[in-house]
Each structure stands twice: as C-alpha cells, then as structure tokens.
Amino acid sequence: MFPHPRQSSVTMMDNRIYSNTDLANLLMEADQKKNLIEAVTAALV
C-alpha cells in the first residue's frame, strides 16, 4: 500500500495509521455494498 503523495513526508508510524484507516474505510464500504446488494436482491425475490 503506497502512502498518498502529500503524506510522503510523514513518519512510518503515521503511514501505518493512515493505512489502517483506509482499510477500515474499505471494509465499511464493502459492508454497505453487501447490505445494498442484499436489499436489492430481497426486493427482486
């Protein structure tokens, strides 16, 4: 996972925090999409 260009000057520790936040955001988005897909599927059935 590459740091964002404007974050390139921050420390390694900060990069880890940013990466973990990105990961959490991705997981949350995936969860919302899954819920949306399930809702749409339920509506179609």
CA pair distance 27, 43, nearest whole angstrom? 24
The more confident residue out of 45 and 32 is 32
Residue 13 inside a domain? The answer is: no
> What is the predicted pLDDT for the residue at 41?
92
Q: What range defines the domain where residue 37 resides?
A: 19-44
> What is the predicted pLDDT for the residue at 34?
93
Residue 7 inside a domain? The answer is: no
Residue 12 inside a domain? The answer is: no
CA pair distance 19, 3, nearest whole angstrom? 8
Residue 27 inside a domain? The answer is: yes
Query: How many structural domains comprise the chain?
Result: 1
Per residue in 5-43, pLDDT (tens digit) is: 555 555 555 656 566 788 888 888 999 999 999 999 999
